[in-house]
């Protein structure tokens, strides 16, 4: 039986209630998103609360609001945030993002999301896991439009996506006046094509900074130096 928790260096993520468990996508986004000079962040679709907690660890001045539509995920995220050293800077709220954007809330200078993205694949029998993985309840258009309403003029929006959905997501972002500034393309191994991509958008139209990272460079669980450098403050094994 798999563990019901995932142990990091400075915190533990319990995941017995949440539909989506700790995965590489979330860890990479939490480690990569630029938190420098940020003061107020929003984590959309927080799940276990992993990314929100990682952001809190990385910036001691950052206050994070984390939302999710699923009640069990919220209970899990609240548990994990409360047990973390940064509970006073993390607020967990159950909310549908499409409704949340219409509430009178302050704007954020950092917004992150590991969004539902399997648009055409078969639905999982578990409804909660399906909702977490499919974008029926939160489309790319609604996500980018909502982010544009909540982002400060100099803020940034960071997401992780399958590589083959970057172009369509960026088109929706452009409709919301959000420009791609930075991308990190992720290759599972040196010989495999890019599978995931980390993206940063803002209202500023700047030259795109593009990098490629190999995850497992020399075999299974033989991680590249770049991957270890990015995640070394979190994984116990690095």
52 within 8 A of 46, measured Cβ to Cβ: yes
Q: Quickly state the pLDDT bin for 138 (edges 50, 70, 90).
A: confident
Domain annotation covers residue 187: yes
Q: What percent of the chain lies above the pLDDT cut of 70?
A: 90
Classify burial at 141, counting beta carbons within 10 Å of its beta carbon; exposed 0-12, middle 13-18, buried 19 or more: middle
Q: Quickly state the pLDDT bin for 18 (edges 50, 70, 90).
A: confident
Q: What percent of the chain lies above the pLDDT cut of 90?
A: 82
Domain annotation covers residue 108: yes
Higher pLDDT, residue 105 or 153: 153
Q: Is the pLDDT of residue 135 over 90?
A: no
Q: Is the pLDDT of residue 125 over 80?
A: no
Q: Is the pLDDT of residue 95 over 60?
A: yes
For the chain, the domain total comes to: 1
Domain annotation covers residue 237: no
Q: Give pLDDT, residue 129.
A: 43
Domain annotation covers residue 155: yes
Domain annotation covers residue 236: no
Range of the domain at 84: 5-231
Measured distance CA(133)–CA(152) in Å, rounded? 28
Q: Is the pLDDT of residue 130 over 70?
A: no
Q: Give pLDDT, residue 127.
A: 46
Q: Give pLDDT, residue 137.
A: 64
First to last CA, the chain: 25
Bridge-based pairing state of the strands 209-214 and 196-202: unpaired
Tell me what the pLDDT averaged over the chain comes to.
Answer: 91
Domain annotation covers residue 161: yes
Q: Which pLDDT tens digit goes with each residue over 36-80?
A: 999 999 999 999 999 999 999 999 999 999 999 999 999 999 999
**Angle value at C-alpha 114, between 111 and 120, nearest 5 degrees:** 130
Q: Is the pLDDT of residue 1 over 80?
A: no
Q: Give pLDDT, residue 2.
A: 63
Q: What is the CATH number of the domain that holds 212?
A: 3.40.50.150
Q: Which pLDDT tens digit goes with each residue over 168-223?
A: 999 999 999 999 999 999 999 999 999 999 999 999 999 999 999 999 998 888 99
Domain annotation covers residue 29: yes
Q: What is the Rg, in whole angstroms, of the alpha carbon atoms belonging to the chain?
A: 17
């Amino acid at each position: 039986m798999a563990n019901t928790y995932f142990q990091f260096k400075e915190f533990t993520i319990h995941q017995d209630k949440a539909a989506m468990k700790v995965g590489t996508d979330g860890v990479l986004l939490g480690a990569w998103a630029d938190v420098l000079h940020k003061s107020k962040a929003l984590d959309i679709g927080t799940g276990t609360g992993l990314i929100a907690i990682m952001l809190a660890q990385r910036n001691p001045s950052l206050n994070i609001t984390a939302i999710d539509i699923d009640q069990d995920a919220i209970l899990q995220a609240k548990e994990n945030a409360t047990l973390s050293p940064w509970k006073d800077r993390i607020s967990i709220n159950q909310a549908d993002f499409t409704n949340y954007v219409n509430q009178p809330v302050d704007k954020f200078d950092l917004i992150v999301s590991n969004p539902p993205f399997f648009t055409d694949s078969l639905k999982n029998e578990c409804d909660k896991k399906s909702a977490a993985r499919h974008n029926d309840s939160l489309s790319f258009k609604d996500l980018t439009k909502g982010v544009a309403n909540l982002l400060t003029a100099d803020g940034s929006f960071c997401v992780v996506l399958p590589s083959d959905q970057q172009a369509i997501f960026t088109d929706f972002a452009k409709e919301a006046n959000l420009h791609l500034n930075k991308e990190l393309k992720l290759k599972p191994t040196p010989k495999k094509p890019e599978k995931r991509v980390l993206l940063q958008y803002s209202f500023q139209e700047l030259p795109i900074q593009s990098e490629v990272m190999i995850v497992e460079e020399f075999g299974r669980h033989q991680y590249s130096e770049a991957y270890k450098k990015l995640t070394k403050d979190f994984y116990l094994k690095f």
